[in-house]
Chains A and B, each alone.
Chain A
Amino acid sequence: MKYLDEYRDGRVAAKIVEEIRKAQTKPWVIMEVCGGQTHSIVKHGIDELLPQGIELVHGPGCPVCVTPLEMIDKAHAIARRPDVIFCSFGDMLRVPGSDGDLFTIKSQGSDVRIVYSPLDCAKIARANPDKQVVFFAIGFETTAPANAMLAHTAKRQGLNNVSVLVSHVLVPPAIAAILSSPDNRVQAFLGPGHVCAVMGYGEYEPLSQQFHVPIVITGFEPLDLLQGILMAVRQLESGRAEVENQYSRVLNRDGNRSAQALVFSVFEVGDRNWRGIGTIPGSGYRLRPEYAAYDAERLFNVTQIATRESEICISGEILKGNKKPHDCPAFGKQCDPQHPLGATMVSAEGACAAYYAYGRHLERAANDTKLTRIASAGAA
């Protein structure tokens, strides 16, 4: 298929892997920032192709995962109201709050709908003037323009039965938080391709300089990822720390200026709480005061709900690149997509869920059995 097969060619992949092998003289730890990249790496088995010593760790770039539990509970409280049609991207529906998920709430009679575009909510609002249509506006910079467009359209068209529940997060402050952590292991980043398609990559340059870390803005197909890894390894080996653009077929340094203008006319930067990580200053968007009439949090005045996270879950450590899903004793046992204990298991883009979806818990179970066998053989 055009623009797909070309980026999944096994022969080209083998050549790039060989280049990585030639370029590498010592072990390196590289973090892919985006959940989409994690998904692709596990789906295509890319980490298995890499030479020993190149370790990929999975970053915090899954917006569904890092949406805090109290925000999910607020969403559920709004969705349960009989006067509300609650709209969301599909993968948010299975994320459990303190009391069930949106699928359960739907099964109990609430009107919960999956939309592909936030603008569908404007259509739904026009068709249902007696209902309040609420959109769960989550995501990184990638989804911000489309989400902003809904608020913008509602205001321009005077739709008074649409609102957005905003839980937007931003990538650069998260990278800064990871690099500032005293136990940080990450030596280079594969930067978020689609986020930078909107925002450009200029804002990553100060990060790269300040922390002396290579950041290669990278796409999502297997060859994109392998090439991004090669570029990062070459920088690491030569002691360079720059922002490079692997994904030049999609983005440039400036990004999409008109999308940015729209985003900043609707949102302003504020602090955000990240599930598994905690509050990161200036790491999210909230609605500007002139859009207060479209702010679901304000309109529905949802009270603060006390929530408690699992004590076994190590998703915070996974999101920061310090640990992997396999390191968690609960992975694939007490914790699976049906009973996620924490952030990284709740969405397909989360590292734990990606490992689970591609059967790596089965692999672990097989390894465990093997180890037990070896151990018992040893004992005998």
Chain B
Amino acid sequence: MSQSATEKSKQPDASSQDQASSVPSPLFGSCPLPIFEHKQIVLGHGSGGKLTADLIDKIFLPAFSNPVLDRLDDQAVVQVNGARLAFTTDSFVVTPIFFPGGDIGRLAINGTVNDLAMSGARPLYLAAAFILEEGLLSEELQRVVASMRDAAQRAGVQLVTGDTKVVNRGKGDKVFITTTGVGVIDRPIEISASRARIGDKIIVSGYVGDHGIAIMSQRENLEFEGAIESDCAALNSLVNAMLEVSDIHGECPVHAMRDPTRGGVATTLNEIAGRSGVGMLLSEESIPVRETVLGACELLGLDPLYVANEGKLVAVVAADAADAVWQRMRRHPLGAESSIIGEVVKEHPGMVRMKTAVGGTRILDVMFGEQLPRIC
């Protein structure tokens, strides 16, 4: 689970639209559960933006709160008999299940591997649960499974347990996959969204927005010059390369690290800025975006900084080691287009600002719900 700490709790007011229910459910008696404003779940609750944060804050956290969960990192880090384990789970629902540059199987492996890797853990074992829709072609399932096998092999993890359920036709969307993973943190390091420090440099590992635009152009039958492929990839070997630098450097210079999936780079950086209580200043010109992705975004009225990635990371790195880490990333195939895109500042804590190419500044806020194509 990830959420933004910058999200302010909203007081429902009498004049707001009727979706807002100002009366807490009597079921919970005196239990001070926060008021969840939506009577029904809408798609935006799964967008990774403010609505998702709202769902976590108001429904999940009050029920499950504990010190490990409350850190709200993309993985839990727990100590078992002296070993530090990273533990995470993620569900994958995507239409279409096969898309340029990947498929739901590869996403399911890499997504969970990446959530583990972002803590500096060495991913070890995965579990996979499949919800299959009646009528799914066996051949399609076999393709998905083969792709998972290959992805697991490449990432160096083993799928060691699983589960399968089948639902009636129309009650699912071909196949939903949940993967759960466990890894071990070998190094004496602590990487967390709450550890960004003033002066740190912000590095992104390559072109942003590829995955979201690849999916959208496939889903909506939009044809762009030069196919856009998903960047879906396992990042554990890139992370390992980055941490080798820290082995030489002594103290781990990587303070915070996340893979900017739903909600994109902007939402991820807001989460880190909020949880660390620091400001961030980015430079638009230093953020790598492919021309095709930029063109597609212009056409659709989307912002690449809020578009999902599946094979990128953003790292907040100590200033004196940033160059060494960045150089090492550039030598890795998954980090060849890495770029230092900004720094952590003491001004405007909790807020991410960006110097625009044209010389102005703008604030990058957390995404609200789904990004919607604009009319004109």
Q: Which residues of B contact A36 (CB under 8 A)?
A: 374, 376
Number of chain A residues whose Cβ lies closer than 8 Å to a Cβ of chain B: 68
Say how far A106's CB is from chain B's closest CB, in angstroms: 8
Q: Which residues of B contact A43 (CB under 8 A)?
A: 356, 362
Classify chain B's interface size: 35 or more
- Within 8 Å of chain A (Cβ to Cβ): is B160? no
Q: Which residues of B contact A108 (CB under 8 A)?
A: 40
Q: How far is the CA of A64 from the CA of B373 in the complex (A)?
A: 13
> A335-376: contact bitstring with B at CB < 8 Å (1 yes, 0 no)?
011111100000111000000111110110010000000000
Q: Which residues of A contact B16 (CB under 8 A)?
A: 334, 339
Tell me if A94 and B369 are in contact (CB < 8 A): yes
Q: Which residues of A contact B15 (CB under 8 A)?
A: 310-312, 334, 341
B residues 243-291 near A (Cβ < 8 Å) are 285, 291
Q: Which residues of A contact B37 (CB under 8 A)?
A: 338
Tell me if A334 and B43 are in contact (CB < 8 A): no
Q: How far is the CA of A46 from the CA of B360 in the complex (A)?
A: 6
Tell me if A1 and B376 are in contact (CB < 8 A): no
B interface secondary structure, majority: loop
Residue of B18, B41, B42, B220 ringed by the most chain A CB atoms within 10 A: B42
Q: How far is the CA of A39 from the CA of B372 in the complex (A)?
A: 14
Say how far A368's CB is from chain B's closest CB, in angstroms: 13
Tell me if A49 and B294 are in contact (CB < 8 A): no
Tell me if A359 and B364 are in contact (CB < 8 A): yes
* Chain B binder among A9-17, A209-217, A262-270: A9-17
Tell me if B375 and A63 are in contact (CB < 8 A): yes
- Within 8 Å of chain B (Cβ to Cβ): is A8? yes
Tell me if B368 and A337 are in contact (CB < 8 A): yes
Q: How far is the CA of A116 from the CA of B369 in the complex (A)?
A: 19
Tell me if B19 and A100 are in contact (CB < 8 A): yes
Tell me if A338 and B368 are in contact (CB < 8 A): yes
Tell me if A104 and B374 are in contact (CB < 8 A): no
A residues 80-113 near B (Cβ < 8 Å) are 89-94, 96, 98-100, 103-104, 106-108
Partner of A107, one of B42, B222, B294, B369: B42
Q: How far is the CA of A129 from the CA of B372 in the complex (A)?
A: 28
Q: Which residues of B contact A54 (CB under 8 A)?
A: none
Partner of A94, one of B10, B356, B363, B372: B372
> B298-338: contact bitstring with A at CB < 8 Å (1 yes, 0 no)?
10110000000000000000000000000000000000000
Tell me if A14 and B359 are in contact (CB < 8 A): yes
Tell me if B376 and A334 are in contact (CB < 8 A): no
Residue of A nearest to B299 (CB): A116
- Within 8 Å of chain A (Cβ to Cβ): is B44? yes
Q: Which residues of A contact B298 (CB under 8 A)?
A: 4
- Within 8 Å of chain B (Cβ to Cβ): is A68? no
* Chain B binder among A135-143, A168-176, A232-240, A273-281: A135-143
Q: How far is the CA of A154 from the CA of B357 in the complex (A)?
A: 45
Tell me if B18 and A98 are in contact (CB < 8 A): yes
Tell me if A10 and B359 are in contact (CB < 8 A): yes
Tell me if A349 and B375 are in contact (CB < 8 A): yes
- Within 8 Å of chain B (Cβ to Cβ): is A114? yes
Q: How far is the CA of A194 from the CA of B374 in the complex (A)?
A: 14
Q: How far is the CA of A99 from the CA of B20 in the complex (A)?
A: 11
Q: Which residues of B contact A106 (CB under 8 A)?
A: 42-43
Say how far B283's CB is from chain A's closest CB, in angstroms: 11
- Within 8 Å of chain B (Cβ to Cβ): is A42? yes
Partner of B222, one of A8, A116, A336: A116
Tell me if A103 and B43 are in contact (CB < 8 A): yes
- Within 8 Å of chain B (Cβ to Cβ): is A288? no
Tell me if A49 and B372 are in contact (CB < 8 A): no
Q: How far is the CA of A96 from the CA of B376 in the complex (A)?
A: 20
Say how far A341's CB is from chain B's closest CB, in angstroms: 7
Say how far A347's CB is from chain B's closest CB, in angstroms: 8
> B36-62: contact bitstring with A at CB < 8 Å (1 yes, 0 no)?
011011111000001100000000000
- Within 8 Å of chain B (Cβ to Cβ): is A57? no
- Within 8 Å of chain B (Cβ to Cβ): is A27? no
Partner of B351, one of A45, A107, A336, A362: A362
Residue of A nearest to B14 (CB): A334
- Within 8 Å of chain A (Cβ to Cβ): is B199? no
A residues 22-61 near B (Cβ < 8 Å) are 35-36, 39, 42-49
Tell me if A93 and B368 are in contact (CB < 8 A): no
- Within 8 Å of chain B (Cβ to Cβ): is A321? no
Q: Which residues of B contact A223 (CB under 8 A)?
A: 358
Partner of A93, one of B50, B300, B372: B372
Tell me if A89 and B375 are in contact (CB < 8 A): yes
Q: Which residues of A contact B295 (CB under 8 A)?
A: 1, 4
Q: How far is the CA of A13 from the CA of B357 in the complex (A)?
A: 10
Q: How far is the CA of A90 from the CA of B220 in the complex (A)?
A: 13
Tell me if A45 and B301 are in contact (CB < 8 A): no
- Within 8 Å of chain B (Cβ to Cβ): is A222? yes
Partner of A96, one of B13, B17, B41, B365: B17
Q: How far is the CA of A142 from the CA of B375 in the complex (A)?
A: 10
Q: How far is the CA of A42 from the CA of B360 in the complex (A)?
A: 9
Q: Which residues of A contact B376 (CB under 8 A)?
A: 35-36, 63, 139-140, 142-143, 194, 349
Say how far A180's CB is from chain B's closest CB, in angstroms: 26
Partner of A114, one of B38, B291, B357, B373: B373
Tell me if A107 and B358 are in contact (CB < 8 A): no
Say how far B3's CB is from chain A's closest CB, in angstroms: 16
Q: Which residues of A contact B356 (CB under 8 A)?
A: 8, 43-45, 222
Say how far B96's CB is from chain A's closest CB, in angstroms: 17
> A126-167: contact bitstring with B at CB < 8 Å (1 yes, 0 no)?
000000000000111011000000000000000000000000
Residue of B10, B300, B360, B362 ringed by the most chain A CB atoms within 10 A: B360
Q: How far is the CA of A149 from the CA of B364 in the complex (A)?
A: 38
Q: Which residues of B contact A13 (CB under 8 A)?
A: 358-359
Q: Which residues of A contact B10 (CB under 8 A)?
A: 336, 338-339
Q: A140-B376, A339-B17 are in contact. List 13 more A-B contacts (CB 8 A).
A: A43-B356, A43-B362, A89-B373, A96-B19, A103-B369, A104-B19, A106-B42, A116-B220, A311-B15, A336-B10, A338-B37, A338-B51, A339-B10
Residues of B within 8 A of A (CB): 10, 13, 15-20, 37-38, 40-44, 50-51, 220, 222, 285, 291, 294-295, 298, 300-301, 348, 351, 353, 356-365, 368-369, 372-376
Could you jot down 7 A-B contacts, CB within 8 Å?
A: A13-B358, A42-B362, A48-B361, A90-B374, A103-B44, A139-B375, A222-B360
Query: Which 3 pairs from chain A and chain B are nearest by CB?
Result: A45-B360, A359-B363, A90-B372
Residues of A within 8 A of B (CB): 1-2, 4-5, 8-10, 13-14, 35-36, 39, 42-49, 63-64, 89-94, 96, 98-100, 103-104, 106-108, 114, 116, 138-140, 142-143, 194, 222-223, 310-312, 334, 336-341, 347-349, 356-360, 362-363, 366
